[in-house]
Structures are given as structure tokens and as C-alpha cells.
Structure 1
């Protein structure tokens, strides 16, 4: 389609107005992010009623900015215009957001934001009390609101697919399901073989208690070593570790277990991966799609890369074990081989996802995806979730949680949304693919062993971070690694690593 003189005259004005609207939207979202971070980190418990109203109002402001008729007019003006690739990407992303929001009533947006905020507090209280029934009514209302929104976006589509596309818009659900099939076929027998024939790995960090303040300073030391930008970030604690932020302000949270210092250390390294993605986005594109992360799955690839391919590597423990000894007394005799084995120990009896090893982790995710989908599609009543959860835990992992707090209440994610758990596995698969591509350019193990992490950060920024949302997910994976998303690298990586560790 050709571009007329009228198009050429109109395009700069329409594009600049659209870009200005994008920046306003981003600022409202970032304000909401800070309030949501505050609720989970520093806000007193009694602040929830006011915080729910604040976030509800901001969500309404965001919605009005996005569905404004003027936005539709600017997008229509730009339809068919011959734009440079980066501008075309900005228009593509804003068009998608506008179209998905246009059919959703503002009143529903406000109700959903208010109830999400209230549900976060209810979940936290229910987990502390080990009482799923306390959370169940809030969860039932959440699913109703999310499904109502999904039907408003596309009444002809399965609500689960609509919700999945919130966090992963350009990776087909069928692709993800094929990857899950590959992993299920490969990991289940490998885990069983380890359980039956694998050697017993050492556990040198167990059997003692570790002071929280010492663990905190160890997490800070890990962030220092990895190259965390403290002038643009901070470290706090939360009941469920997460990162919130942008390229100027990336906030890491972790949590401390007095009996397991590896839990906090690996969680901190994991969240560093999320933070370094945010900090690697181009400063000059803040407020535009070019300055925003691509998707939940790509984001998770960064955290899983740093946690697993760096933090669980032998090279990292050759470098970092002396620092661990400095901060945690009583570990003077722990060797690199023992530490490396301990941090990679497969533990099918562990009921907690965020504490899971690299192999069983994906069975935790699979369990959540199956329950999540059955709940969204109306096949699983809310009151049956604990029983179904425990049944699947026994089936997939051979372990039954001792409480709801260890079972269906352990994750906060349902307070935020549904159809998102797949992206933890997508991230792990993509992390292995990125690791393989990186090793063609860098001597990764040598760099880690020497504590030289800047070239690794720079490689990820060059191949992933700096692009923002210029590419769709599938395009970005090909740009970064040279081929489409595949489970092959992940399966090869875990097969080699764990067969060696367990002498199989």
C-alpha cells in the first residue's frame, strides 16, 4: 500500500502524539508498580483498604488513557504508513494494547484492580494462618473478574488463551504445550532414575542455623559480585521474592530461611537476573515499548540464566565459596565439589516450587498449569483446589504437602493473574538456548570463575535487553540465538549435568 502526501504530512504528528500517550501510560503504570511493591514490602497490614482504592483509581486512569478515541484515530492514521522498523514496532504494540482494552468496561478494570490488591493481603494472611478457606472466596471472585475481562476482550476465544496472551502475546500456546510434552517425556524418567540409582550427594549446608543478618550481607555480596547497580536498585525482603522496576529503578526482594542459606542466595541471584534485564533496557526509550521488556517468558529466561547457568555452576562456586565462608561461620571445611553438589541436589520430596531443583521445578510448574487451566475453564471448583493440588503433588513428585501453606497457598501469583505459570518453564528453556549461543562468543566458565561478569551482562544486553519490544517473542529468540525456540538445549544441558553429578 502506497503512502500519500497526506499520510506523510499526518504521520509525524500522529506518531508523536501516540508516543506521548505511551509515556503517560508508562508513568501511571510505574506509579502503580511502586504502590504494589510498597504493599508487599513495607506497607503496614492495615493499609490495604486505602491501597486498593489508590490502585483502582490508577488502573482507571491508565485504562482511559489507552482506550481514548484519540488513540484509535492516531492508530488509524498510521495504518499502512511506511514507518521505520522501530516506529512500526511501537505502533504494533500500542495497537495491540488499545484493541485488547477497548472492549473492557472501565468499571470492570477498577473492580479487578481493587480486588487484586485486596486479594494480595488476604492471600498473605491465609498463608500465615495455613487456611485456604480464608483465601477461597477472594480467589473465586478473582477468577470471575478475570474471565469477565477475557470475554470482553474476545468473547469467541477460550478465556484461558486470552489470559495467557496477557503475559506472552507472541508465543503460541501450542508451542509452549509441545515444549511441555518434550520436558515431561524426558524429565520424569530422568528424575526416577536419579531417585533409584543416583549416588547420594552431600548436604554440607544443612544441620545448622544461619543468622538472617549474615544471610542478608551474603546476598548483598552476591549482588556486588554480579555487578548490581545500587544507584538504580535496592534489596529488600518479601514473603515471595520478586522484582519491580524499570531501567532507572529495579528493586530486588528475597527471603531468608534460617536452616537453608542457599534458598536466599539463589533467590537473590534469580531476582538479579530480572533486575539486570530491567536495567539493560535503553534509558532513552523509557516510557515507550522500545524501553519495555518483551514478555514474561523472556524475562524469566534472564532470571533462570543467572540462577542456574551461573549461580548453580561449578565455576561460580570456585569463585564465590570463599565469600560464603566469610559471611557464614562453620563452613570452613566445605569444598567446591560439595557446594556444587549441594546447590544442584535433586529433591523430589521438596513441596516448595521456589526451593525446587532444576529438574523437579518443571513438574511443579506443570502441576500449576494443569490446575490453573482447569480452574479458569470451570472444570475445578475453588473448594477442590487443595485436594487436587495434593493429589497431583503425590502423582508427579511422590510427596504430599503437610499444609496448605506448603501446598496451594505457597505462591502469590493467583492474586495477580492466571495462565502465567508456563513462562517459568519457557524461561528455563530459553535460558539454556541463550547460554549455548553465548558460549559461541564467550568463554563463559572462565569468566564466571574469575568473577568477570560484565562481558556476560553485556552479551545479554546486546542480544536481548536493548531491543525492548522491537521484535515479537519468536523474532527476538531468533535474533538472539539464531534459531527458533527449542527444548533441545535445555534437555541436553540437564541430561549432561545431572548424569555426571549422579554417576548415571
Structure 2
């Protein structure tokens, strides 16, 4: 499919608009690269300059997007007959323009500067287990984000406005319906698992694992999965993340000597994000057709590779011998023991990114409820640690021992990313639906995994998801790839079958 069909009938206004969009998106890409550097490479003392640099670029991007000429070009194209791809470009630019034009540039600049300043404070507060250090910055960011939402749509729920920054094509109401279905499936299942007397291996990876060797293992996994090193790199950061474009998609992870699976699954997760970026069409770079659809779709790619591939028994049949070459202490481990261990449902794990595949979503519910209450003004920032711990006890059955294990564990609020968390669970539901469709088209994907043949699945995802960029809105993209509207059905079927078999539950 040509991403930018060339015809003599292309309106001049469209070409002018596209030229402006490319400048805007290149400024954003430069901001992302500076943000990556701040989290990975920048010296500790660089924050004052970096906050100004990022603030300036944010203001410039906003000014370019809200130029009067952009609005005029959009108006000029309103009645034009365009190809479906070009219609999509205009639709996406119009959405961004209409939101941005309502927000003062100085507010955008203040938000960017505050998030840059807040990042090192969060890192220090987490290291010192002290919410009070970070709380004033959260308070400021909550206030700034409320102002932002008020400007975008004074009549809307401010949290819904913020959610649309990360998932612009699904209503918050529809998202909550899917999240509710996930929760209603998982809560009784988790209770049943905890009551199960079926023994599974839980300590296959106990012991100490050199972190430098773990990095070599992570690189082996990335190479096996097909990560193109000429367009990416692996680094460490305090919170694993991925950033980049189809030409430069970087991943980070973190290593713990006592838990090699944490780094490995995080690396595979970020590989999924990077693979999506790398799968976007090269010839549409810096245009909506070369940009990702949204964070629900982005998370579907990371959760698919992490859970449906990286936590499968077939993956461990393939990868365990390689890992054992680096760690001789696990030479006698069987793939089944590895599979059971990486899929165990924890009784008392407080950390979201280390959570099992099921309780993970209760971590998301907790964050969703807290940040929504913060934005609504129903919860004060100083009360977050207590409410966090209360909710963790209610949903997960235990209380964190420290703020670092509780409300300080995630980086998102330092970025001002209120509204992001629901996309993790939405992405998990979407991942299951996409993987189910891939299996229907490709046959036994586990067999491909056992053979180390990952190109086939990656190319299926590129063909059915990545190459479209923002050509389709979220539900339409899922329908295009799977033949069905987006729902939680495939996810609930998947976890019921997988964990029912693993723990010998009655529902199987």
C-alpha cells in the first residue's frame, strides 16, 4: 500500500499543510531525543539547562501547530476530495490543531519545564523513600494539567481530556467498559488461583545473577527476536522505556542481581514498542501516516511480545539453553520449570513492572482511580501514600513497606502523564485480540517460536498494524487487523485458558 499516493489532483493546500506538519513532528522528535538523553546519558547537573531546552522546544512545537495558517489550510481542505490516506492526515492534524489552539503557549512551556525539573526530584525521592520530596512537584503538575484540560474543553471531565492525549480515538466510557470486564474476570480468577493446591515451580530463577552478564543475555534476546541494531540501542535507566522513530528506536531496561527475569521481560516489552516504531513506513516519516496510532495500540505491541511470546513455554524451549550458557547455575532447569516460574501469580508483589500477567491489571486499576481522584480534586497529594497503600491492601491483599515500593515506583507522574495508565490494560486486551488473529492467519505461532522464527509474526504485525500509521482510528485499526471490533473477549478467553491449565482451575 502506498502511504502517500502521488496524483496531479493533490491540492496545493495539502502539500503546504504536510510541509508544516513535518516541521512540527521533527521538533517533537528532537524533544524526545533530549528526554531520552536526560534519563540515560545526561550528567546529574544538566537539569537546569535541559529543562529550558525542552521547554523551548515544546513552546516552538505548540506555536508551529497553532499558527493561523495551519487553521486556514485545514479550512481550505474541508471540502476537498482526497484519497483515504490524505483524509486521515487532515483528520489527525485537525484533531491536534483544535486541541492545541485552545491552550496558551506559556502553559505548554510551563508544563514542559516542570516535568523536566520533576524527573530528577522523583529519582531522588524514590532512592530516599520520601514522598514528601516529590509531593510539591506532583501538586504543581496536577494544577498545571487541570489548567490544560480546562483550556481544551471546559465542559468535559478533565481526566477524560487528559486520557485523550494518550488514546484519542476511544472514549473514556468505552475504555472503562473494557477495564471493568478485565477486572471482573481477573478478581475471582486470582482468588481461585490463590486457593489452588496445584503445585507449580516458583523459584527456578532464585539466586544471584551478575548484572553485566544479564545485559549480555538481554542483547541475545533482542538479537534473537530480530531487533535491528543499526537502528537501535540498549541502555539502562531507572524506569524501562522506549523512544524513537522508524529510523532510530531505542530501548532501555534495568537489572537486578536477584531477579534476571525482571530485566528480560522488561527488555522484551520495550522491544515490542521499538518494533512498532520501526515498522512504521519510512516514506511517511514525520507525517501522521508515519506516526503510531496511540498508546493503547503501542502497549498492545509491547504486551504481545512480552506476554504472548516472552512468557510462552515455546519461548523458553528456545531461549533457555542460550540463557544457561551465560548462567551455568540454571543448566538443569527445564523449559516447563522456567515457564511456570515466569508465569506464577504472586501473593505479595508491590511493583507493577514486576507483577505477574494477572495482578498487573489490579495495579493499573489502583493508579487509574488515584490519578482520576487527584485530577478531580477529590484527593490531596499529601494523602496519596496512605490511599495508595489502602487500595493495594484492598485489591492485592498487602501493604507496601515503603513509598519506593508504593506511590513512588512509577516515573509517569514526573512526566505529568496523567491518563496514561489505562492504556496498559487496554493494550493487553488488544494484544490478545491481535495475537488470536495472527494465529488464525499464521497457524501455530508457538511452533514458529520454538524454531526461533520471529520474522513471520513481526511481519504480520507490520502488515496489519504498523504500516498503517494513523490511517485508521483505534477501533477501525483493530477491525482491519482482526475482523472484529475491539473488545476484551480475546483477553478473557486467553487468560482463562492459560491460567486455568497452569493452576488446574475448575473453569477449564
TM superposition score category, shorter chain reference:
over 0.9
Number of the residue aligned with 2:130: 131
Number of the residue aligned with 1:3: none
| TM-superposed deviation, 1:10 | 9.9
Other structure's SS at 2:250 match: strand
| TM-superposed deviation, 1:499 | 1.2
Number of the residue aligned with 1:418: 418
Confirm or deny: 8 A CA contact 1:215 1:328 kept in the other structure.
no
Give the distance between the partners of 1:172 and 1:58, measured in 2 at CA.
30
Number of the residue aligned with 1:214: 213
Root mean square deviation of aligned Cα? 1.2
1:108 aligns with 2:110: no
1:468 aligns with 2:466: no
TM-score (norm 2): 0.96
| TM-superposed deviation, 1:329 | 2.4
1:199 aligns with 2:198: yes
Give the distance between the partners of 2:167 and 2:299, measured in 1 at CA.
11
1:237 aligns with 2:246: no
1:437 aligns with 2:437: yes
Confirm or deny: 8 A CA contact 2:367 2:421 kept in the other structure.
yes
Give the distance between the partners of 2:99 and 2:32, measured in 1 at CA.
21
Number of the residue aligned with 1:482: 483
1:225 aligns with 2:227: no
Confirm or deny: 8 A CA contact 1:345 1:357 kept in the other structure.
yes
- Any residues of structure 2 matched to 1:91-170 within 5 Å, and which? 91-170=90-169
Other structure's SS at 1:330 match: helix
Q: How many residues align?
A: 497
Number of the residue aligned with 2:449: 448
Deviation digits for residues 5-59 of structure 1 (CA, Å, limit 9, x no counterpart):
xxx9996211111100111011100110010000000111111111000000001
Give the distance between the partners of 2:203 and 2:360, measured in 1 at CA.
22
Confirm or deny: 8 A CA contact 2:205 2:330 kept in the other structure.
no
Number of the residue aligned with 1:458: 459
Other structure's SS at 2:440 match: coil
| TM-superposed deviation, 1:178 | 0.9
Deviation digits for residues 375-419 of structure 1 (CA, Å, limit 9, x no counterpart):
110000000000000000000000110100000000000122101
| TM-superposed deviation, 1:78 | 0.2
Other structure's SS at 1:58 match: helix
Other structure's SS at 2:329 match: coil
| TM-superposed deviation, 1:206 | 4.0
Confirm or deny: 8 A CA contact 2:465 2:481 kept in the other structure.
yes
Structure 2 residue ranges without an equivalent (≥5): 1-6
| TM-superposed deviation, 1:80 | 1.8
Number of the residue aligned with 1:287: 286
| TM-superposed deviation, 1:348 | 3.1
Other structure's SS at 2:21 match: helix
Number of the residue aligned with 1:27: 26
Other structure's SS at 2:249 match: strand
| TM-superposed deviation, 1:203 | 2.8
Deviation digits for residues 421-463 of structure 1 (CA, Å, limit 9, x no counterpart):
1000000000000011001111201100100000000000000
- Any residues of structure 2 matched to 1:11-410 within 5 Å, and which? 12-410=11-409
Give the distance between the partners of 1:198 and 1:42, measured in 2 at CA.
48
Give the distance between the partners of 1:40 and 1:198, measured in 2 at CA.
44
Compared CA separation, residues 198 and 85, structure 1 to 2 (3 A):
farther
Other structure's SS at 1:441 match: helix
Deviation digits for residues 449-499 of structure 1 (CA, Å, limit 9, x no counterpart):
100000000000000000000001111010011111111111111111111
Other structure's SS at 2:251 match: strand
Other structure's SS at 1:251 match: strand
Other structure's SS at 2:235 match: strand
Number of the residue aligned with 2:4: none
Compared CA separation, residues 161 and 140, structure 1 to 2 (3 A):
same
Give the distance between the partners of 2:127 and 2:199, measured in 1 at CA.
34
Compared CA separation, residues 167 and 388, structure 1 to 2 (3 A):
same
Confirm or deny: 8 A CA contact 2:205 2:341 kept in the other structure.
no
Structure 1 residue ranges without an equivalent (≥5): 1-7
Compared CA separation, residues 496 and 10, structure 1 to 2 (3 A):
closer
